[in-house]
A and B are shown apart, each in its own frame.
Chain A
Amino acid sequence: MRQRKLEIYSVEHHAATDIKKKEGRDGKKDNDLELKRNQQKEELKKELDLDDHKLSNKELETKYGTDIIRGLSSTRAAELLAQNGPNALTPPKQTPEIIKFLKQMVGGFSILLWVGAVLCWIAFGIQYVSNPSASLDSVYLGTVLAVVVILTGIFAYYQEAKSTNIMASFCKMIPQQAVVIRDSEKKVIPAEQLVVGDIVEIKGGDQIPADIRLLSAQGCKVDNSSLTGESEPQSRSSEFTHENPLETKNITFYSTTCLEASTSPVGTATGMVINTGDRTIIGRIASLASGVGNEKTPIAIEIEHFVHIVAGVAVSVGILFFIIAVCMKYHVLDAIIFLIAIIVANVPEGLLATVTVALSLTAKRMAKKNCLVKNLEAVETLGSTSIICSDKTGTLTQNRMTVAHLWFDNQIFVADTSEDNLNQGFDQSSGTWTSLSKIIALCNRAEFKPGQESVPIMKRVVVGDASETALLKFSEVILGDVMEIRKRNHKVVEIPFNSTNKFQLSIHQTEDPNDKRFLLVMKGAPERILEKCSTIMINGKEQPLDKSMAQAFHTAYMELGGLGERVLGFCHFYLPADEFPETYSFDSESMNFPTSNLCFVGLLSMIDPPRSTVPDAVTKCRSAGIKVIMVTGDHPITAKAIAKSVGIISANSETVEDIAKRCNIAVEQVNKRDAKAAVVTGMELKDMSPEQLDELLANYPEIVFARTSPQQKLIIVEGCQRQDAVVAVTGDGVNDSPALKKADIGVAMGITGSDAAKNAADMILLDDNFSSIVTGVEEGRLIFDNLKKTIAYTLTKNIAELCPFLIYIILGLPLPIGTITLLFIDLGTDIIPSIALAYEKAESDIMNRKPRHKKKDRLVNQQLAVYSYLHIGLMQALGAFLVYFTVYAQQGFRPTSLFHLRIAWDSDHLNDLEDNYGQEWTSYQRQYLEWTGYTAFFVGIMVQQIADLIIRKTRKNSIFKQGLFRNKVIWVGIASQIIVALLLSYGLGSITALNFTMLKAQYWFVAVPHAILIWVYDEMRKLFIRLYPGSWWDKNMYY
């Protein structure tokens, strides 16, 4: 840091000019600040740098200036507290709610509409000053605009406010109290007041109050699941066992739970606080998670892009015609009113709310398919996802150990690993199997919780660790009631599994009343078990364990191990009845029984098997052009095995190592290009530069990251994002929350996921099932297509709304449609139809195309805008004008006489304006006719919007292929359009402020031929696109 600073400052000395210097310095200050912030962030991303676990107690005492027996002095503790701050997580700076609210009020089109509203009021103000009886129209309009903006703002704010606070979930995890030794006394203090160097005591059931280096502990087990996602309790002691502070046994972490510390004499463990507050592991994760910026979702970017286009068009057309109007000697006030009208005509006021509703409809649909979407915009993100970084455990796998293979009689048998597991079809006739099954059933401490007889075996709750559970369920499935078997074979003694012995042993009376021998059964690490054996059982007969058998054992062991499975060896021994009579007293401490020269029976291997739906889902992702990367904390071999079995690494692709092995050459000699797959461990990743990571991510289509830490998950996500990919990340642990937040879409697990992960995520998989993501992808892609249709539908009428004003200004026709009437189209008739398009089914198999390119496949592209504005929009405008002209002509004003009639028409004093038939019109009569014209134009647009709605159902296929009636909601939309229009015309026709009149029935049909024309034209467009793919027409007309 310091060196970098020096470099920066040295620039100033070389600065050529004073001015430049000044600029430079200002810039530098910013740089510095930014630099610091970034470094902080970078630092957090780095692996934990800690050496306290390596130090002896004495060194610790000197380092932290404390005393293990007496603890810190209160004064010292107070000093440290003042210096380092409380032992609590600092909440990130919150944006005040009012700011958030105001932001919504000026976001999107709002600012444009505000300008419009204010201009309206100003215009009225000026009119009022010059003529107190000025019409209130502009006041109405301004108010309506303001109400529209405020309502949409509130809607958007409400949507945003629903997302929950990440920090809150972290704070929930924090312990309240701690037992601390200070001034030689045991005190209970709030955990907040802990400082570095404090000696704390922990009981079973406590939450660890800070990052702690254990000084004395026995049989202490901690549940790190909240932090690392490891579900098994980890034992902790005061010994230094691993270089990595995260894995060494003598460090426990803030907010994790101490499960048991009971075997220790005092029932407690003591430790020294080495990190507090934000500097703890959880603190780092929390600040990392809350510090990772909330990136804009792809759909937000698209909508912003669209808003820019539309606002750009609105403002430039508005200003252009403002200038034209001024040049045409219009009053400036009138020109301003035209400007407002043009803006209102151009801005699709209801669209943003429509998009939100469409997204939430999809979200609801996805929730039904077990994808709970928290952040609405994430609905689409999943659709544009190009890389999924998936967790292994629980997401791809079933998250339970299951027996996968058995080896006995020198043969490997495959066990069923599917979810219900009932179909164990291997050969069970051999005598060896009888023995083996007995060992499996007896040498096991796990038990079913009582009262679950009606529950399927695989779903029963078991007390015991994962492997024992697997074995218990396995034998329950095959043998029947295991508890009964155990009862019949009474257990006399047992030695539980421990890490030094690496075996588990028990001695039983046999169920055969004639056989007085005791049966010794043992299971454990295969090589340890084999060491203890001198014979091996083949086909139920004991044979001496010769070299060839040992070789066979090793081959099988390697093969099963190579599948990434956890292998256990089983052996038994019938204790001779003469040496061990029935009354013999076995002692587990002294082990007064033989533990060698046993009879080896078989091997059994277990794995957390992949969910049965996952391979299919991965294939779907593949065909959808989505790269699936596995990121797991598990062992590379296991990871690779699972990756292969689910298809993340496809059957015929090899890693560099595989090639090396096949060709029998060194890994370095292999041409890296030949390998399609890569398995990268956390250690390798640690040494990689970002460039290397980029290269890795770009060059290998199939990647598995194993043994990765949460920080590395973040690095991987960032690497993927550098490839311009839209990245989805799945995770469940607290430690995943930064990556979940950083990802374009974070997917948390609903069952196993921690609160922090769920809060950081945008989506929650309620069933923890990877295949649910695929459903999400499909829905996401569909909604993107459908939003395109919605927007195309909505934009089309903008031209029909805009043209009246342009023609009014240039050709001086009586105004064809009023600004308030426009709002009734935008916010009245068009709302439900545009939502209805969200229900449209996919046109083709959307899961067979590549994910859209973030920068190339825009939501609103040039083709869409051009086709909507210049083709259909223009046709609509013409159709609407036709209705307008018809009304005027039938009332006495032929189109030719309307041109340049504006000044006379709008003149309040002229109460005998002559029409084509010589009739004379009062000002109000003309006004009323004008409103009839508005209504006619409105109805014209509405009728053609029905055609527009129908043509927008598809972008390429014929409507008839898509099915006119498949999407019923479309018809609801059409009905709503008609009903709203009827209500406005006939129901509210008498309210003058709304400018609607009762329109004669026949005028409703004038635009129908035009609507049909639109339909026919669009069918032709689609036909040509289908006939000539890749042609000019396809390129320019397909949106």
Chain B
Amino acid sequence: MRRQLRSRRAPAFPYGSRYRLDDQDEVNQNYLADEEEEAEEEAQMMMASNSEEEKEEEEEEEKEEEEGQGQPTGNAWWHKLQVINEYLWDPERRMSLARTGQSWSLILVIYFFFYASLAAVITLFMYSLFLAISPYMPTFTERVKPPGVMIRPFAHSLNFNFNVSEPDTWQHYVISLNGFLQGYNDSLQEEMNVDCPPGQYFIQDGDEDEDKKACQFKRSFLKNCSGLEDPTFGYSTGQPCILLKMNRIVGFRPELGDPVKVSCKVQRGDENDIRSINYYPESASFDLRYYPYYGKLTHVNYTSPLVAMHFTDVVKNQVVPVQCQLKGKGIINDVINDRFVGRIIFTLNIET
């Protein structure tokens, strides 16, 4: 009686996760009754390689079992796998994922049109967005202000460790600086850019889309740190040059008459660890003529001004933390979270 009961119920639970191990035959039989795959039959043969006689007996004993009380076993997984397999491809009805080929093609066509029109709509939205945004001037600049600071040479690290007597330890700084200063070569600057009057903004009125001229910043301005006189930028003598660059911001103007200055000192430590620093240009400031910046598209040859710091007398064989800050109106150099806004911290460890 229970047997009948069960065979009625079992097909209703194709995902039945609770068949016991010795339920397998029965499960499969119910299954086969539902016109299942041959593979399954084979599997059954393999797993239950016993005589027909025994099978019957097993069935008998299964009659005694109550359904649904067994523990889930590995067999359930096997069973599930077959169900999934059949779901993926049902050769009987030529269906995949419970749909026929025709149904699938209809789906694909409809979804193609749906997504195509969706893409058209989003493209339209995006296009209108870009029409509204000027390519010359960013709409907002409050996130990029106040300006950040970066130094050169820079290679993933702000710790300058080198041994004066071992050129290998500092050679890459020199190469990096040389590379960086290629754009500042006097000849190039003279050819591309104009020599504009210092101490005032270099304002160029006119249409947004007009090309803008850029002021010259010659490599020679950096004097001892230009690499022209000392091709090792002082590294060979333990007096390294480090170039400081303020991040470009479209439209940024320092206070009139009060250019942004750079000053470096030992950060948390003995003030006397650095006994002298030479700044080039000597004013240790970014001249007003380099501002404002009109953006990449029109201000093509714009050359970022630099301040070179020449650490001429630093304690050797010891890590010296250095903080270089920008100073001036509109400059913030004490944001806790951002250690690169208006200041930069690096260490010098010069070994001899």
- A residues with a Cβ closer than 8 A to B are 4, 7-8, 10-11, 14-17, 20, 23-24, 27-28, 30-31, 34-35, 37-38, 689-691, 722, 724, 855, 870-871, 874-875, 878, 882, 885-886, 889-892, 894-895, 909, 911-912, 914-925, 928-929, 932, 992, 1000, 1009-1010, 1013, 1032, 1036
Contacts and interface: CB of A to CB of B under 8 A. Distances in A.
Given A885-B126, A911-B148, A925-B143, A919 B1 contact: no
Contacts of B70: 30, 34
Contacts of A1009: 125
A17 B47 CA distance: 13
Given A917-B250, A924-B338, A911 B150 contact: yes
A909 B61 contact: no
Contact of A11 (B8, B54, B147, B341): B54
Contacts of A914: 248, 296
Given A11-B57, A38-B66, A919 B250 contact: yes
Contacts of B125: 882, 1009-1010
Given A919-B141, A922-B338, A922-B341, A912 B65 contact: no
Interface string B121-157: 1100110011001011111110110011110001011
Given A27-B20, A923-B340, A15 B54 contact: yes
A909 B157 contact: yes
Contacts of B46: none
B138 A919 contact: yes
A39 to B, nearest CB: 9
Contacts of B22: 23-24, 27, 31
B21 A27 contact: yes
Contact of B12 (A8, A724, A874, A882): A724
A35 B156 CA distance: 73
A966 to B, nearest CB: 31
User: Which of B49, B138, B250, B295 has its CB near the most chain A CB atoms (within 10 A)?
Assistant: B138
Interface in B86-111: 106-107, 111
Given A921-B144, A925-B148, A691 B4 contact: yes
A724 B10 CA distance: 12
Nearest to A35: B64
B126 A895 contact: yes
A1036 B337 CA distance: 52
Contacts of A31: 22, 61, 64-65
A924 B118 contact: no
Interface residues of B, number: 71
30 contacts: A8-B64, A11-B58, A11-B61, A15-B54, A23-B21, A28-B61, A30-B70, A31-B22, A31-B65, A34-B70, A38-B69, A690-B1, A690-B5, A691-B1, A870-B111, A878-B118, A878-B122, A889-B129, A890-B133, A890-B138, A891-B139, A917-B137, A918-B248, A919-B250, A922-B148, A925-B143, A925-B148, A932-B143, A1000-B140, A1032-B106
Nearest to A32: B64
B245 interface: yes
A327 B59 CA distance: 50
A891 B1 contact: no
Contacts of B275: none
The 4 closest A-B pairs by CB, nearest first: A918-B296, A922-B148, A924-B338, A920-B247
Interface in B149-174: 149-150, 154, 156-158
A914 B247 CA distance: 9
A603 B310 CA distance: 127
Given A894-B130, A918-B248, 13 more contacts: A15-B50, A31-B22, A871-B114, A892-B138, A912-B247, A914-B296, A915-B138, A917-B295, A919-B293, A920-B249, A922-B341, A924-B338, A924-B340
A923 B340 CA distance: 8
A919 B144 contact: yes
Interface of B: 1, 4-5, 8-9, 12, 20-22, 49-51, 53-54, 57-58, 60-61, 64-66, 69-70, 106-107, 111, 114-115, 118, 121-122, 125-126, 129-130, 133, 135-141, 143-144, 147-150, 154, 156-158, 245, 247-250, 293, 295-297, 299, 302, 335, 337-341, 344
B247 A922 contact: yes
Nearest to B22: A27
A17 B150 CA distance: 79
Interface of A is mostly: helix
B244 to A, nearest CB: 11
Contacts of A34: 65-66, 69-70
A920 B138 contact: no
Nearest to A912: B150
A1017 to B, nearest CB: 9
A922 to B, nearest CB: 3
B340 A885 contact: no
A924 B337 contact: yes
Nearest to A896: B130
B296 A917 contact: yes
Contacts of A874: 115, 118
A802 to B, nearest CB: 17
Contacts of B337: 924, 992
A868 to B, nearest CB: 15
User: Which of B5, B148, B249 has its CB near the most chain A CB atoms (within 10 A)?
Assistant: B148
Contacts of A11: 54, 57-58, 60-61
Nearest to B23: A27
Contacts of B118: 874-875, 878
B292 to A, nearest CB: 12
A892 B126 contact: no
Contacts of A916: 135, 138, 296
Contact of A890 (B140, B247, B295): B140
B48 to A, nearest CB: 9
Contacts of A918: 248, 250, 293, 295-297, 299, 302
Contacts of B339: 924
Given A691-B4, A917-B137, A918-B250, A8 B54 contact: no
A722 B9 CA distance: 8
A916 to B, nearest CB: 7
A858 B204 CA distance: 69
A875 B51 CA distance: 60
B138 A925 contact: no
A909 B153 CA distance: 13
A693 B133 CA distance: 77
Contacts of B295: 917-919
A689 B250 CA distance: 90
A717 to B, nearest CB: 15
A917 to B, nearest CB: 4
A462 B138 CA distance: 91
A3 B340 CA distance: 88
Contacts of B297: 917-918
Nearest to A11: B57
Contact of B61 (A7, A871, A920): A7
Contacts of B143: 891, 925, 928-929, 932
Nearest to B71: A30
B65 A35 contact: yes
A38 B63 CA distance: 13
A1015 to B, nearest CB: 14
Nearest to B128: A1009
B296 A891 contact: no
Contacts of B122: 878, 882
User: Which of B49, B60, B111, B340 has its CB near the most chain A CB atoms (within 10 A)?
Assistant: B340
A891 B129 contact: no
A1024 to B, nearest CB: 12
B144 A925 contact: yes
Contacts of A892: 138, 141, 144, 250
A10 B60 CA distance: 11
Contacts of B147: 920
Contacts of B150: 911-912, 920
B144 A16 contact: no
A932 B143 CA distance: 9
A574 B292 CA distance: 129
